[in-house]
Amino acid sequence: MGTLDWVILVLFFFGLVGIVIWVVKHKTDDTSDYFLSGRSETWLAVGAAIFAANIGSEHLVGLSGAGAESGMAMAHWEMQGWMILVLGWVFVPFYAHSKVFTMPEFLLNRYNKNTSSTLSIITLVSYVLTKVSVTAFTGGIFLQSVIGIDFWYGAIGLVLLTGIFTVLGGMKGIMTISVIQTPILIVGAFTILVLGLQKVGGGGLIDGWHEVVKYASSNGSTNMHLFHPKGDVWYDKFPGLSVILGASIIGFWYWCTDQHIVQRVLAAKDLKNARRGTILAGFLKVLPVFIFLIPGMVAAALRGKGVLMFTDNNEAYGSLVRNLLPVGVKGIIVVGFIAALMTSLAAHFNSSATLFTIDFYKNRRPDASEHQLVWIGRIATVTVVLLGLVWIPIMKSLGSVLYEYLQNVQSLIAPAIAAVFFLGVFNRRITPKAGEWGLLVGALIGLFRLCLMVFDPGTSFDAAQKIITNPALRHGLFLILNINWLHFCIYLLFFTMAFMVVVSFFTPKATEEQLKGLTYFSQTPEQVKETRESWNVTDIVTSLVVVAVCVVFYIYFW
């Protein structure tokens, strides 16, 4: 970092202060304004906010580290622009018509209070385990590798700065910085990709790509591991078509039902802007493979040539930024990346505050004023910050590839939630008790495996064998402890769905009034008309282009 870079960084922080002052001057003690930006955002802000909420330090550090480690294997989780379209075209109308603030609120309407509370708890826990801690940890690594600041100073400073920004700025501040940082992030990341390919290829982009592929081939990591069981060193971890289905289950939970993504869409002023925001986000979601994962592969190739020197793959992206960018440009790019880290982290903080305030505090204190609710949201933000920092050392012990850790943990959380939302919207015969017990049982099974991940699964199974003598129980325990993580995700989804169907045969059905407008087959004529009038041919064509890009990508890396 040169003097000019530091000047740019200081100006960025003054800009943050300016945004906060502007928001505070125009703020109202209103929950809709603080949590959903007054439901007034256009499709441009919604699409940028969805993308910005998704892109955090787990991409700058984790996804690039995964690229350096296993090549294209983790691309399945990023090539999911088509899944964001499912949110916009299928689920947003139900969420919008129900006028909810949170996803647990939607389950409260579709099922019952216990289902809503269970989802709130699961979501808050998942944010601590997979969002706040990962973003803080990887943010510390990135700042250390680029700026040279001590890891803990960087991690804690990032969290505290973002926490203050979120508490004061609310959703309006988050949406504002999202629109500003998204173009900087995209342009800066592509700049790094181009410079990296030129460096590894001796000046030519195509030659650089061929060199990257050649180096990755020597490690068996150029394909997406669909039909290469023999001679593929990564096939056992990412087995065949299971990786597509497993990634889709996680993607469905994340893009269509997770609070911190859906909350950006709920901030739209109408259905048309909400859907077009998801289409824009679908286009943007194609980019991370090219601006983060492939640069990780480039960094590995440059390390192989002796150009870059790093021992931890999580330092791959930071090494590119530090060594390839000229003074001045580096400052601008680092500002864009820090803004991306803050936006992603702020989205988690704001969503956590929304969940706790709306689904817990407001339910127990229905007479609480808007001013009180906003302040409770701020207190909840601070609490999540502290819990995320506490989890960092435990998370670090579970694996060195951070992006893989993130998807592994999410594979235990996603199936039960995905089952409850999917069946809840598309099957009106699923009863409230089926939703309640399906979510609880599925989540507990996933939590059980997560607890065992903290220890050594093999050791746990060996110890259990000495205690459990029943062959069926021993076999069941073996499956939970030793089955491939993607297979476990798939089995847990279908088990939860089957369990819900069975429970529905023995429990009371929901009333027609309760189901009104909440399932695909119980929409009112007015709701159907509103949904139909919210899209046109342009929306269809642009959505098909997103799908086509995803298909072409899979064909190329087959």
- Looking at domain 3-99+118-221+263-396, does it have CATH number 3.80.30.20? no
| Cα–Cα distance, 66 to 297 (Å, whole number) | 9
| Cα–Cα distance, 180 to 503 (Å, whole number) | 49
At 466 the pLDDT is: 56
At 236 the pLDDT is: 67
| Cα–Cα distance, 484 to 406 (Å, whole number) | 15
Which residue is listed with tokens 């890009």? Answer: 549
Q: Are 334 and 191 in contact (CB under 8 A)?
A: no
| Cα–Cα distance, 11 to 345 (Å, whole number) | 21
| Cα–Cα distance, 457 to 488 (Å, whole number) | 14
DSSP annotation of 511 reads P
Q: Is the Cα torsion angle 378, 380, 386, 392 positive or negative in sign?
A: negative
List helix spans (H) across 369-524. Answer: 370-396, 402-426, 432-454, 457-465, 471-482, 485-504, 512-515
Domain ranges of the chain: 3-99+118-221+263-396
| Cα–Cα distance, 519 to 502 (Å, whole number) | 20
CA proximity to 135, closest of 54, 50, 248: 54
At what angle are helices 43-54 and 271-284 packed, to 10 degrees? 40
Q: Are 489 and 249 in contact (CB under 8 A)?
A: yes
DSSP annotation of 268 reads B
| Cα–Cα distance, 9 to 13 (Å, whole number) | 7
| Residue 41, strand partner residues | 268
Residue 243's SS3 state is helix
Query: 470 Cβ partners below 8 Å, 6+ apart?
Result: none
Query: 473 Cβ partners below 8 Å, 6+ apart?
Result: none
CA proximity to 279, closest of 556, 1, 534: 534
Give the residues of the chain that fall short of pLDDT 50. Answer: 37, 400, 458, 460
Residue 420 CA neighbour count, 13 Å, CB half: 34
Amino acid letter at 289?
V
Average pLDDT, the chain: 79
| Cα–Cα distance, 272 to 43 (Å, whole number) | 8
At 503 the pLDDT is: 96
Q: Are 302 and 310 in contact (CB under 8 A)?
A: no
Question: What HEC string does 217-240 produce?
Answer: HHCCCCCCCCCCCCCCCCCCCCCC
At 401 the pLDDT is: 53
| Cα–Cα distance, 207 to 198 (Å, whole number) | 8
| Cα–Cα distance, 249 to 551 (Å, whole number) | 18
Question: What HEC string does 13-43 produce?
Answer: HHHHHHHHHHHHHHCCCCHHHHHHHHHCECH
Amino acid letter at 362?
K
Residues written for the chain: 558
H or E segment at 397? none
